[in-house]
Amino acid sequence: MLNLIKYEWLRRWKFFLAGIIAFLAANVDIISRLVKQENPTALTAVLCGILFALGMALVFDQIGRIYRPLFTDEGFLELTLPLNGYQYLGAKTLAVAIEFGAVALFVVLVAYLDLVYINWVLPDWQLAPITWAEVLDFLQAIGLTLGVYLIFILMIYLSLTLAKSLFASLKHGKLITFVAFLLVFKALDYFIDCWNIVRGYGNFGLSLTIAAQDWFLIAVVIGILFAGTGYLLDRKINL
C-alpha cells in the first residue's frame, strides 16, 4: 500500500518542486515589497496566477489518480496488483490527505518565517504573540477543511468507480454516474443542513469550534464513501 503512495509521488516530484519554487518566489516578492512598502507588480500577479494554476492542477491530478486507472490502459497494471479494493483506495486517499497536510504545513511554516522576518526588519510592526487557543482553532480549521476536501474527493472517486462497476455495461453509464454524483451531493447537502439544525448551528454550516459530534459526522461520511468505493473496486469492477 505504501509502495503505491511512493510511486504516486515519484511520478509527481517535478510538479511538487515547481509548486515549491513558485510559492517561494511569490512569497519573497510579496514580502520584499511589503517591507519596502511598494505596490505589487505584474510579476507578483503572474506568480500568484501560476500558484493558483498549480493548486487547481493538483486538485485535478488527485481526481485523476482514480480516473486514470479506471478509464485508461494504466488500470491493467494498477488493478492487477495484489491489493484489495480498500487497500488500493486507502493508498490513494492517504496520499491525498498527506499532500494536503504537507501543503498546509509548508504554507504555515513559510508564513511564520515571514512574520519573524517582518518583526526583525520592521520593529514597529510588533505583532501580538500567538496563543495556544489560536493554534488550536487554526488546527481545527485545517482539520475541518481536510475533512470536507476528503469528502469531496471521495464523492468523485465513488462516482468514477460507479461508472466502471455497476453502470459499466449501461449505454449511458457515464451520464447516469454524473446524475448519481449530483444526487449523492444533494443528499449529503441535505443531511448536513439537517445536522446543522439539530445541532443548533446557523445557515453557514459548522462553526469554527467543532464539537466531537461534528468530527464524528465527518468521519462517518468519509467512512461510508470509502467503504462504498472500496467495495465496488474490490468486488464489482468492470474494466
Partner 1 sequence: MELLKAKGLTKKYMTKTVLNNLELTLEEGKIYGLLGPNGSGKTTLLKTIAGLTRASGGELKVNGQNIGALSKQEVSYLPTISHLPKWMNVKNCLNYYQDFFKDFNLELATERVEEMGLKYNQKVSSLSTGMLGRLKIALAMSRQAKLYLLDEPLNGLDPISREKVLEMILKSAGEDSSIIIATHLIREIESILDEVIFLKNGQIALEGNVDDLRLVKKLSLEELYKEVYGDA
Q: Which stretch binds partner 1 (CB under 8 A): 31-39, 162-170, 194-202, 205-213?
A: 162-170
Residue-by-residue DSSP string for 63-94: HHHHHHHHHSTTHHHHTTSS--HHHHHHHHHH
> Min. distance of Cβ 128 from partner 1 in angstroms?
48
Q: Which is nearer to partner 1, 141 or 239 (CB)?
A: 239
Residue 171 CB, nearest approach to partner 1 (Å): 8
Q: Let me know: does 153 contact 93? Beta carbons within 8 Å.
A: yes
83 binds partner 1 (CB under 8 A): yes
3-state secondary structure of 132: helix
Residue 160, Cβ neighbours under 10 Å: how many? 23
> What span, in angstroms and rounded, lies between the C-alpha atoms of 86 and 99?
20
The binding track of 168-197 with respect to partner 1, each residue x by CB under 8 A or -, is xxxx--------------------------
Q: Which of 238, 198, 239 is nearest to 216 (CA)?
A: 198
Size of the site for partner 1 (CB under 8 A): 28
The binding track of 198-237 with respect to partner 1, each residue x by CB under 8 A or -, is ------------------------------------xxxx
Query: Which lies closer to partner 1 via its Cβ, residue 44 or residue 84?
Result: 84
> How far is residue 33 CA from its own chain's centroid?
31
Residue 79 contacts partner 1 per CB under 8 A: yes
Residue from the set 87, 140, 196, 207 that interacts with partner 1 by CB under 8 A: 87
Tell me how far, at minimum, the Cβ of 14 lies from partner 1, in Å: 10
Under the criterion CB under 8 A, does residue 3 sit at the interface with partner 1?
yes
92 contacts 64 by C-beta, under 8 angstroms: no
Residue of 147, 146, 145, 165 lying closest to 228 (CA atoms): 165
Choosing from 44, 84, 140, 207, the residue that interacts with partner 1 (CB under 8 A) is: 84
Candidates 152, 219, 153, 4; CA nearest to 91 is 4
Q: Does 80 bind partner 1 (CB under 8 A)?
A: yes
Q: What is the DSSP letter of 202?
A: -
Choose between 69 and 147: whose C-beta lies nearer to partner 1.
Answer: 69
Q: What DSSP designation does 39 have?
A: P
Summarize as ranges the residues that interact with partner 1 (CB under 8 A).
3, 6-7, 10-11, 73-77, 79-84, 87, 165, 168-171, 234-239
